[in-house]
Structure 1
Amino acid sequence: MPSRIAALLTLLVEQPISLYAAAVLRIGYGLLYLAFLLSEFPHRDEIWGPDSPWTPALARQLFDQTGWASVLTLSDSRAYFEVCYATALVISALFTVGWRTRAVSVLFAVVVTSFHARAIYMTDGGDNLILLMSLYLVFTACGRRWSLDARRSRLRASTAQAARPALDQAPGELRRHVREARLTVIAVLHNCGMLVIAAQVCFLYGSAGLYKVQGPSWGNGTALHYVLNLDLFRPWPALSRMADGHNLMLAVAGYVTVLLQVGFPFVLFGRLKYPVLTILLGMHLGIALLLGLPLFSGAMIVADAVFLPDRFYRYAGRLWRGTTRRAEVREAPGVVVGQAHTGAADGEPTLMSGHG
């Protein structure tokens, strides 16, 4: 046990873990919030603007009691609100593509917190989760992969390698120690942030499952029947009625939901997590379609991505590049697809060969 603890501490200190998962979280939540702001653009004034029923003055009175803060309440001017809204759209887009991620992640957290606090009574579970994740991602190195920052770092490294003289002098001792300390701090903050995100998702699923166990409707398998008959959660009434007609399927789905949520933290350290995450993906897609909660479902789907290892994302990246490369070969004029395939079999690295 002491050796395992020492190995865990060494892993937390030496290098950042799950960099691809952090990138997926950045892209996912950036896209979700950007889509959320764009979808509410026609109703922005009624929700967050000066003409909202929940006026800036009322919001400031609530802030005095709760300790919240929002940049949207600094002025009651309509022009100021429009500038803030346009700035929020730009920051969400920059956070998604990973431009100057270290600074933009802080601005993104300020944007999410400000809009969340401005209309606190208009939020739901998806907003709450995105708020928490935006704060956690500030401490992570979520711009190391699949970002403009990563592309710029690769170009800078290749340029520096080409311009480096044959005999390079070793850096100063103080400079080397400062660099090592900086890398250690970044690794520790990133790893702790990712562990907190994983723990947050586990607590979310576990508490939701234990809360369902206490209700009699989940015990007798009728909970989903009642949910599908709530007018507030029926964006497609005909689809809800069709799903409500399968009582046995709804009862099984309810029991599986509770079982997966309660047991979720206990299946994360084996291969069983892959089918569990797949079932949860289907469950969240069903919630988005049947109950009309796309923001909540999207936030949960993105959060589940933290439990997939980096090798999964590297494999997905190679698969995507191979698919796009084959599509380009097929669309290229004068290229015979069969000959291209034969050439790859004669020695060109392929996806199934195991080469990077």
Structure 2
Amino acid sequence: METEQAPAPRRVAEKTGAFLTVLTERPVSLYAAAVLRIGYGFLYLVFLLREFPHRDEIWGPGSPWTPELARQLFGQTGWLSILTLSDSRPYFETCYALAVVTSALFMLGWRTRAVSVLFAVVVASFHARAIFMTDGGDNLILLMALYLVFTACGRHWSLDARRTRLHGSTEKTARSSAGPAADGLRHQLGSSRRTLTAVLHNCGMFVIAAQVCFLYGSAGLYKVQGASWGNGTALHYVLNLDLFRPWPELSLMVDEHDVLIAVACYLTVLLQVAFPFVLFGRFKYPVLTMLFGMHLGIAVLMGLPLFSGAMIIADAVFLPDRFYRSLGRLWPRASRRPDAWKKVAPPSGEPALVPSQSAPSIH
């Protein structure tokens, strides 16, 4: 028995060392971070373009919530917004155009480190300027924009990754031509930079995952306290609110199925309460699928696409990188599949037009 119990402290030390190694040397969930960057950049870009005809009433000088009222509120809450630095219309139009460009560049992953900071400033400024005039979906986008500043969300599926692949050989040639002293200093600085990047990225992804768990858990526990969720009638009342009925006929048609309404109520509470406890097992995949369907229903029936889109994108943080790598491999295969059916031999002396069947490199 003594010989079996002796290695226990050693195993604890090995696991602790492995955890610290991962924390400081290997950024995790890089593909998930890329999905978050693309998703939130695209979502906010669509949001700004969708509200372009109403931009003056929501954020501009002609808004009922005037810049002076916003500045008075900032004195109490401590918020700041670049939109309130000037009341002129040309300044506002310039800020709006820059916000659209920043969202597009963040989605594409161009100079992601700097653009992620600008994107967070844009989201925070627009959120603070009209804090009483949006639907709440931008609250989560604001949090995620701040968290993504600390992540390496431009490592994959970005213009930065493409530029790194194209200029990788040039950098290697420049390093080989440098002297040994300069090469050693560069190696030390690069090692320190990689460690700092890995720690910030891993902590940022952990905070994002914890934020989503807290949202679902608190929402489920809050629903448990309500009598309407306990007796399965909460969704009936929601479907009959004029404020959340973009298609009244569809809402009335869904409301006719009392049993399905009650089942949906109980399933919603169960999924939200159980979500933080199923993340480390196989049950998380059906739970994420059902949550995806729930958010689609909220977007269609309640007319809250911004909120639903923000939650669906946030759920992507719990999918492993191997899932996204498999998607990256399936796309080229699908695009080549029609050509594979045409088994036509190329003329003699000409190279074959069929692309190489080797697995594509994902960076």
Q: Is the TM value for this pair above 0.5?
A: yes
Find out whether 1:210 has 2:221 as its counterpart: yes
User: What is the identity, as a one-letter code, of the residue corresponding to 1:287?
Assistant: I
Residue aligning to 1:107: 118
- Tell me the equivalent position of 2:260: 249
CA contact (8 A) 2:175 2:183 kept: no
Cα distance between partner residues in 2 of 1:164 and 1:80: 45
Match among 330, 352, 361 for residue 319 of structure 1: 330
Pick from 53, 62, 69 the counterpart of residue 64 of structure 2: 53
1:74 pairs with 2:85: yes
| 1:156 shift after superposition | 0.6
Q: CA separation of 1:166/1:67 partners in 2, compared to 1, >3 Å: closer, same or farther?
A: closer
Query: For residues 267 and 128 of structure 1, what CA distance do their matches in structure 2 show?
Result: 25
Q: Where does the alignment leave 5 or more consecutive residues of structure 2 unmatched? A: 1-11, 346-351
Change (3 A) 1:236 1:163: same
Give the drift of 1:226.
0.6
Q: 1:65 aligns with which of 65, 69, 76?
A: 76
Superposition pairs of residues 71-150 of structure 1, within 5 angstroms:
71-150=82-161
Q: 1:67 to 1:259 in 2, by over 3 A?
A: same
Output one character per residue of 1:151-207: Cα deviation in whole Å (capped at 9) or x when no partner: 000001134457886999685333322211111000000000000000000000000
- Cα distance between partner residues in 2 of 1:123 and 1:46: 12
Unmatched tracts of structure 1, length 5 or more: 331-335
Give matches, 1:1-356, under 5 Å.
Answer: 1-161=12-172, 172-327=183-338, 329=339, 337=342, 348-349=357-358
Q: Aligned to 1:25, what secondary structure does the other structure show? A: helix
- Report the residue type matching 1:110 in the other structure: V
Q: Take 1:150 and 1:60, find their aligned partners in 2: how far apart are those partners?
A: 40
CA distance in 1, matches of 2:95, 2:171: 39
Shift in Å, 1:271:
1.4
For the structure 1 residues 350 and 111, does the alpha-carbon distance in structure 2 shift closer, same or farther, using more than 3 Å as the test? closer
For residue 2 of structure 1, report the CA deviation from its aligned partner. Answer: 4.8
CA contact (8 A) 2:84 2:129 kept: yes
| Mapped partners of 1:163, 1:183: distance in 2 | 20
Cα displacement (A) at 1:259: 0.5
Distance 2:202 2:65 in 1: 39
Q: Is the 8 A contact 2:127 2:138 kept in 1?
A: yes
Deviation at 1:8, TM superposition (A): 1.9
Output the amino acid matched with 2:63.
S
Q: Secondary structure at the match of 1:120?
A: coil
Structure 1 position 122, deviation (Å):
1.2
Cα deviation, residue 6, structure 1: 3.2
Against the structure 1 CA distance between its residues 164 and 251, is the aligned structure 2 distance closer, same or farther, given a 3 Å change threshold? same
Separation of aligned partners in 1, 2:136 and 2:318: 20
After superposition, what is the alpha-carbon deviation per residue over 1:307-346, rounded to whole angstroms, capped at 9, x for unaligned? 000000000111111111224x27xxxxx52569xx9xxx
Output the CA distance in 2 between the equivalents of 1:338 and 1:243. 51
2:318 partner amino acid: F
SS in 1 for 2:28: coil
Deviates more, 1:165-174 or 1:195-204: 165-174
Rounded to whole Å, the distance in 1 between the matches of 2:78 and 2:126 is 15
What is the alpha-carbon root mean square deviation over aligned residues? Answer: 2.3
TM-score, normalised relative to structure 2: 0.89
Q: For 1:86 and 1:73, how far apart are their aligned partners in 2? A: 16
Q: Please give the alpha-carbon distance, in whole angstroms, between the structure 1 residues aligned to 2:83 and 2:216.
A: 33
Q: Cα offset for 1:15?
A: 1.3
- Which is worse superposed, 175-184 or 125-134? 175-184
Q: Secondary structure at the match of 2:154?
A: coil
- The residue identity in structure 2 corresponding to 1:87 is L
Counting aligned pairs with the same residue, the percent is 73
Q: Give the residue type in structure 1 aligned to 2:77.
A: T
Give the match's secondary structure for 2:132: helix
User: Is the 2:135–2:304 contact (alpha carbons within 8 Å) kept by the matching residues of 1?
Assistant: no
Q: Which runs of 4+ in 1 moved over 6 A?
A: 162-168
1:125 Cα deviation (Å)?
2.6
How far, CA to CA, are the matches of 2:331 and 2:73 in structure 1?
Answer: 49
In structure 2, C-alpha distance between the alignment counterparts of 1:5 and 1:257, rounded to whole Å: 37
Q: TM-score, normalised by structure 1?
A: 0.91
1:350 to 1:160, Cα distance in 2 relative to 1, 3 A: closer
Distance 1:350 1:338 in 2: 21
Number of residues of Structure 1 aligned to a counterpart in Structure 2: 342
